[in-house]
Structure 1
Amino acid sequence: MMAVAAPISPTKPTTTKPIIITQFPLNPKPLILQQCRTIKDLNQIHAHLIKTRFLNHPSVAENFLESAAVIIRHQPIDYAVSVFKNLNEPNSSAYNVMIRGLTLNNCYHEAIVLFKKMLEDLVQPDEFTFSCVLKACARLRCLDEGKQIHGLSVKMGFGCCGFVVNSLINMYGSCGEVRVARQVFDEMSERDVFTWNALFSGYTKSGYWKEAVELFRYMLEVDAKFDEVTLVSVLTACGRVGDLEMGEWIKEYVDANGGKRNVTLVTALVDMYAKCGRVDMARSLFDQMPRRDVVAWSAMISGYNQASRCKEALSLFHDMQKANVEPNEVTMVSVLSSCAELGALATGKWVHFYVKKKKLPLTVTLGTALLVFYAKCGSTENLIEVFEHMPRKNVLSWSVLIQGLASNGQGNKALKYFDLMLSNRIKPNVITFIGVLCACSHAGLVDKGRALFVSMSRDFNIEPRIEHYGCMVDILGRAGLLEDAYEFIQNMPIKPNAVIWRTLLASCKVHKNVTIGERSIKQITNLEPLHSGDYLLLASIYSSVGRLEDAIRVRSEMKQKGIKKTPGCSSIEVNGVIHEFFSEDNAHPESKKIYEETEKMMKKIKSAGYVPNISDARLEAEEYDKETSVFHHSEKLAIAFGLIKTSVGTPIRISKNLRVCTDCHNATKMISKVYHREIIVRDRIRFHHFKNGSCSCNDYW
């Protein structure tokens, strides 16, 4: 188990000598703005200003408010507010300082309210006022107020003032009105780098990545000046649209102009390369960084995760802990995603423990990442627990919960949460309905599934997508209504894809229907070349009805065409370490023990009634070697390793990259009974919870 990273000790505040006022100066501005550094200093000066009645002098009041509201930041803004309220007829400068101070202290609503009071008191705002209050509107995304202030600024003659227009562009961009922001930008006769950056910020905040890259190209064409802030925005956009060419140009520019000293800029390069699929280049840059903050670590971990190099993501997370860098929410989400893909329950649980210990806010993003993690690890108890403790949930959170319960064989419970979702007035979306229809399939609720499919468009104005049609085929096929499923596909308003027909083919395997199975194979062939899974499903259908010659013919055809079965890989996490196994593989350092345990395990379940299904042996295996071949499938090796390494009675959790074969499914049922173990297997299709000789999928997968 990973050691918890030690918290970083806070930096001790520097001590400053208190100012000693022997004689109050006639011009107190230098004293207030340059020497006043603590609250004690502020109180002392405040007392002198009251005593000498200097506080009502406009310039002195402005300086004092600036010190209280802006310069001395580590104190409540309330002090400055109380001073301001006691001023006699404060002028525009005093209002400006207070609006700026409130904005800097994240009191955006109060800043806008104070601006309204300023107008009510007939105090004339200037360009500085408009710039500050527009920033407050941007932070609160108050579009209506922002539009009114825009109109007022134009009316009062500040519509062409540079930093007012920059603030307008920032406000419109932050409020999602990117086209209006661009219109304001285009109408400007002169633009500085802050103007360009304001528009870049609007594009990136609203996800207009392509437009951001095109804007930078235009910037280069007109030979406009840019800075490192510009480059960070553009690199972020390059990563999102996969524009490696522009990213490489920026990299060359950074190298030529000494930009590698900027941690934020190099981190943006790391992120860009990772998102463009050049993960090794990203890692090379990351390793060269002399100083790496949490953002840099998070960018690299996220890059590995997005490239499906999850083991490397977790390894880097271990290195991050050793470096005593505190992870943030972004780090946690990436780590949880990697844990989910690998089925690394122990590591993910440590992350959950860390979140609780550090009292990190369980935001919608972090909470949903935990839901996905527990759902993909087959831990439905933890899945529900996290959901119930989330203070806020959005439609994705509900959808993940419903889908997670459905894929873990708890269809009826998933449907109960769907009803609860509707009663909470959360409108379902396309993802929700995929989970709901999967729940109906797993629970065998054909009529309910049909009703919900109709309800999508009728009650929620959601047009079914190909995934929803696939769910309906699965519902009908699972119930044995293969003719209905075939007819449903024939009448689909959108063209069925190969996945739809493969879903029907899988149903034909379960229900031993050769006729519709052959029709399905024909349709798949018309759409795309058959892959190994299609051949194996058809061969299995033939075998199930005794047509062994046809089964052999299909497997021989597969061999003749050089179509190889994707190697099965099963993984298991033990003590925070992921162990991977391939069929008949000897790469693991404890292979000898594992194979000995496997032989012992197979003999034990054979004596309890297990009969090997040699049709699942590898194609090239000789007849006498077929039984040994199926005994050494990757999930059996992983289970044997789990029996060696885990305590008696504890669950064993396996992840597999392919669909579980019939033999391994039958064997795992028997292992769960003989060894009194719950075994959770996540394969490419769904979860299988094996317990007391039965499986949650009811032998349908």
Structure 2
Amino acid sequence: MASSALPAKALTGITTIPQFPQNPKTLILHRCKTSRDLNQVHAHLIKTRLLLNPAITENLLESAALILPNAMDYALSIFNNVDEPDSLAYNIIIRSLTFKQSPLDAIVLFHKMLENSVQPDEFTFSSILKACSRLRALGEGEQVHAHIVKCGFKSNGFVVNTLIHMYASCGELQVARQVFDELHERAVMAWNSMLAGYVKNERWGEVVKLFRKMLELEIGFDEVTLISVLTACGRVANLELGEWIGDYIEANGLKGNIALVTSLVDMYAKCGQVDSARQIFDRMDRRDVVAWSAMISGYGQANRCREALDLFHDMQKAKVDPNEVTMVSVLYSCAVLGALDTGKWVDFYIKKKNMKLTVTLGTALIDFYAKCGCVDDAVEVFNRMPSVNVFSWTALIQGLASNGQGKRALEYFQLMQEKNIKPNDVTFIAILSACSHAGLVEEGRNLFASMNKDFGIEPRIEHYGSMVDILGRAGLIEEAYQFIKNMPIQPNVVVWRTLLASCRAQKNVEIGEESLQQIIRLETPHSGDYILLSNIYASAGRRQDALRVRNQIKERRIEKVTPGCSLIELDGVIYEFFAEDKVCPHSEEVYNATHDMMKRIEAAGYVPNAADGRLDAEDDDKQQASVSHHSEKLAIAFGLIRTRPGTTLRISKNLRVCTDCHNATKLISKVFSREIIVRDWNRFHHFKEGSCSCNDYW
């Protein structure tokens, strides 16, 4: 050993070790807690020439490479000065390089090992296959496989498990299954490796199928097996098998395994059984960040976003630090609810904790800001992301489109192509939507044509619907109607409803009537379809026909399936309002504020549109009164009295904004000098100084 290769301070402080044992393994592996301890032992081994003993050198290597943090360079300096390292020394360094995120260096060292004619063993092959897995280095993995066969390890269960894992990590599931099937004796670890491979590649049906085969062959399984199978059950909504595993966990006293119980919570949540998931979650003795994230995600997926945010606040009170998965789920719920304050806190937390702005997390932030109407913030997040993919670009383009910034969306779509990012079918839905909202007819036609011609993307029904919307918004109703008639696929009710909405804006009675008939032919229509036709008649001066259609709603007892609901977030608290809801906690305050608000805009020229009133109202006066109590008006009035003058109000609504509320909100924005951003089920409306960003077409 050449001592010159070591740090100069390595020879100091030897006297602090009072009695150096003849066999220092225990001292090296268990008492070396710091680099200084390691330096002292290393110096003594050099001085006493014990370092010439391979076993002692390997103990020192193991301590430096695997036990102490940030000592990898030190370990390599020791290894590089060993005259003829054996397989154990190579194994320690290869394993450590793989474990410490340097798998490429591990592969290079393995090749050096072979060049030096050092015989690899089962531990070598296991470690180097893990390195190949991390890099998805299929070619190198296949070479290692050849060495495994050559060295006689093809039946070694320990080696074969990592071989299966390597092929699965590289997406070669057929080869992984072939290796698995050729095993004469399959221990549970082999089954788990194959199941994990299917999980990694999202082959959920194969996971369930393989587990059923395990049960059929009466192969014993363990908790690792059940975690894989529960994950698959959640993805394919196999509640029956998931419940069977839940009963097994209960009967066999496995509830102490936090990872297993968390998988059970996730399974129930993904199968739509959120309350069952919550019961299990509440009974857990310990809950780590994964358990909290699974439950929060479950609420979000079930569209119970308020409960998701409530649980997130409980998580904070429990002092459990969120991770990226938690943040993505919370941002999703914030986006659905329009909870700007909570989402902004998440963004602040990410910056404060220096969390890596991954593609997934960054895209969730873009989507959140866009759905809260904060377009510039969405662009800022996009610009600060270290890397972006097609989903990030699509989220930004869609956000710009839904906020009425169609031309800016087109600029980013062009920039996306300049960056050689190929758009996908969802990107085209976004960019066609941008053309629709901005009235860019010719651009929309060209983009629709380029989908198949330039990008090989076959248009789906959503793309055809977007083209109908583009033409209809531009007043080209007849062309839109002929476009539908010439579609190569059967138009659905969404396409016909899009045309019906266009007819309302353009007062086209004939095609409006035809659109409703087509909707009735395809499915049971809802009240909104009849109201649209009624409004078309009214706008064309055919009041009797308008009343006739509205009476049909009553006669046929066609009810609004989903009640109108509007949300507003104030100081981190989300308030929910329903049309004519008299039992909300602040009802008296809200209705008084709404009354005053309506009086002020009436003085400015507002005239209620009785046609948008409650269908069961007995007369025009009651219909007009009901119009004043639509959910977004209640939310806006509450926001006006609970915020300082000039504060922007942000409202989220679950239905399309009606004509009366749209007209009223324009006047409210002018009379009260407020910017009001309303997000309905289709798009954003930015009201300011008496006008709306949608140009009165939505």
TM over 0.5: yes
Q: Deviations over 1:417-452 (max 9, x none)?
A: 111111111111111111111111111111110001
- Look up the match of 1:203: 198
Q: Deviations over 1:431-490 (max 9, x none)?
A: 111111111111111111000111111111111111111100000000010110011111
Q: Does 1:169 pair with 2:164?
A: yes
- Look up the match of 2:5: none
Deviation at 1:22? 4.8
- Look up the match of 1:59: 55
Q: Does 1:667 pair with 2:664?
A: yes
Could you tell me the TM-score, scaled by structure 1's length? 0.95
Q: Deviations over 1:605-643 (max 9, x none)?
A: 111111111111111112222221111111111110010
Q: Deviations over 1:83-139 (max 9, x none)?
A: 000010111221112111222222211111110111122222122211110011111
> Counterparts of 2:203 and 2:624 in 1: how far apart (Å)?
57
Q: What's the secondary structure of 1:579's corresponding residue?
A: strand
Q: What's the secondary structure of 2:364's corresponding residue?
A: helix
- Look up the match of 1:655: 652
- Look up the match of 1:635: 632
- Look up the match of 1:15: none
Q: What's the secondary structure of 1:261's corresponding residue?
A: coil
Q: Deviations over 1:161-198 (max 9, x none)?
A: 11111110011111121221111111111111211111
Of residues 39-48 and 446-455 in structure 1, the stretch that sits farther from structure 2 once superposed is 39-48
Q: Does 1:429 pair with 2:424?
A: yes
- Equivalent residue for 1:442, pick from 437, 441, 451: 437
- Look up the match of 1:688: 685
**Contact preservation (8 Å) 2:35, 2:68:** no
Q: What's the secondary structure of 2:386's corresponding residue?
A: coil
Deviation at 1:74? 2.2
Of residues 641-650 and 121-130 in structure 1, the stretch that sits farther from structure 2 once superposed is 121-130
- Equivalent residue for 1:615, pick from 606, 611, 614: 611
> Counterparts of 2:433 and 2:448 in 1: how far apart (Å)?
11
**1:280-359 superposed matches below 5 A:** 280-359=275-354
> Counterparts of 2:662 and 2:40 in 1: how far apart (Å)?
80
Q: Does 1:267 pair with 2:240?
A: no
> Counterparts of 2:581 and 2:509 in 1: how far apart (Å)?
35
> Counterparts of 1:612 and 1:36 in 2: how far apart (Å)?
81
> Counterparts of 2:459 and 2:531 in 1: how far apart (Å)?
31
> Cα distance 1:153–1:572, how it changes in 2: closer, same or farther (>3 A)?
same
- Look up the match of 2:596: 600
**1:473-622 superposed matches below 5 A:** 473-565=468-560, 566-621=562-617, 622=619
**Contact preservation (8 Å) 1:597, 1:640:** yes
> Counterparts of 2:265 and 2:496 in 1: how far apart (Å)?
42
The residue type paired with residue 608 of structure 1 is A
Instruction: Give me the CA root mean square deviation.
Output: 1.4
**Contact preservation (8 Å) 2:404, 2:684:** yes
> Counterparts of 2:122 and 2:329 in 1: how far apart (Å)?
43
Deviation at 1:21? 4.4
Q: Which has the higher contact order (CA 8 A, sep 6+)?
A: 1
Q: What's the secondary structure of 1:475's corresponding residue?
A: helix
> Counterparts of 1:528 and 1:65 in 2: how far apart (Å)?
72
> Counterparts of 1:75 and 1:520 in 2: how far apart (Å)?
70
> Counterparts of 1:368 and 1:105 in 2: how far apart (Å)?
28
> Counterparts of 1:24 and 1:594 in 2: how far apart (Å)?
81
The residue type paired with residue 42 of structure 1 is L
> Counterparts of 2:520 and 2:35 in 1: how far apart (Å)?
79
Deviation at 1:355? 1.1
Q: Deviations over 1:202-231 (max 9, x none)?
A: 111111111111111111111112111111
**Contact preservation (8 Å) 1:19, 1:36:** no
Deviation at 1:23? 5.4
The residue type paired with residue 296 of structure 1 is A
**Contact preservation (8 Å) 1:672, 1:693:** yes
Q: How many residues align?
A: 683
- Look up the match of 1:403: 398
Q: What's the secondary structure of 1:260's corresponding residue?
A: coil
> Counterparts of 1:27 and 1:682 in 2: how far apart (Å)?
73
Q: What's the secondary structure of 1:160's corresponding residue?
A: coil
Structure 1: segments with no counterpart, 5+ residues: 1-17
The residue type paired with residue 262 of structure 1 is N
> Counterparts of 2:237 and 2:500 in 1: how far apart (Å)?
37
**Contact preservation (8 Å) 1:19, 1:35:** no
The residue type paired with residue 282 of structure 1 is A
Could you tell me the TM-score, scaled by structure 2's length? 0.96
- Equivalent residue for 1:625, pick from 622, 626, 636: 622
Deviation at 1:405? 0.4
Of residues 464-473 and 218-227 in structure 1, the stretch that sits farther from structure 2 once superposed is 218-227
Deviation at 1:35? 4.4
**Contact preservation (8 Å) 1:688, 1:695:** yes
**1:4-403 superposed matches below 5 A:** 21-22=17-18, 24-70=20-66, 72-403=67-398
The residue type paired with residue 406 of structure 1 is A
**Contact preservation (8 Å) 1:56, 1:88:** no
Deviation at 1:411? 0.3
Q: Deviations over 1:641-700 (max 9, x none)?
A: 010011101111111111111111001011111111111010111111111111111110
- Look up the match of 2:676: 679
**Contact preservation (8 Å) 1:570, 1:657:** yes
Deviation at 1:34? 4.5
> Counterparts of 1:188 and 1:448 in 2: how far apart (Å)?
59
> Cα distance 1:19–1:178, how it changes in 2: closer, same or farther (>3 A)?
farther
> Counterparts of 2:18 and 2:679 in 1: how far apart (Å)?
78
**Contact preservation (8 Å) 1:138, 1:175:** yes
> Counterparts of 1:384 and 1:35 in 2: how far apart (Å)?
53
**Contact preservation (8 Å) 1:65, 1:97:** yes
Q: What's the secondary structure of 1:573's corresponding residue?
A: strand
The residue type paired with residue 692 of structure 1 is E
- Equivalent residue for 2:462, pick from 438, 446, 467: 467
Q: What's the secondary structure of 2:557's corresponding residue?
A: coil
> Cα distance 1:426–1:124, how it changes in 2: closer, same or farther (>3 A)?
same
**Contact preservation (8 Å) 1:271, 1:303:** yes
> Cα distance 1:227–1:52, how it changes in 2: closer, same or farther (>3 A)?
same
> Counterparts of 1:480 and 1:285 in 2: how far apart (Å)?
55
Q: Deviations over 1:362-417 (max 9, x none)?
A: 11111100111111111112111111111111100000100100000000011011
> Cα distance 1:19–1:505, how it changes in 2: closer, same or farther (>3 A)?
farther
> Counterparts of 2:116 and 2:393 in 1: how far apart (Å)?
49
> Counterparts of 2:683 and 2:26 in 1: how far apart (Å)?
71
> Counterparts of 2:690 and 2:29 in 1: how far apart (Å)?
78
**Contact preservation (8 Å) 1:19, 1:41:** no
Deviation at 1:41? 3.2
Structure 2: segments with no counterpart, 5+ residues: 1-13
Q: Deviations over 1:319-354 (max 9, x none)?
A: 111111111111111111111111111111111111
> Cα distance 1:36–1:349, how it changes in 2: closer, same or farther (>3 A)?
closer
> Counterparts of 1:213 and 1:30 in 2: how far apart (Å)?
46
**Contact preservation (8 Å) 1:571, 1:579:** yes
Q: What's the secondary structure of 1:653's corresponding residue?
A: strand
> Cα distance 1:549–1:227, how it changes in 2: closer, same or farther (>3 A)?
same
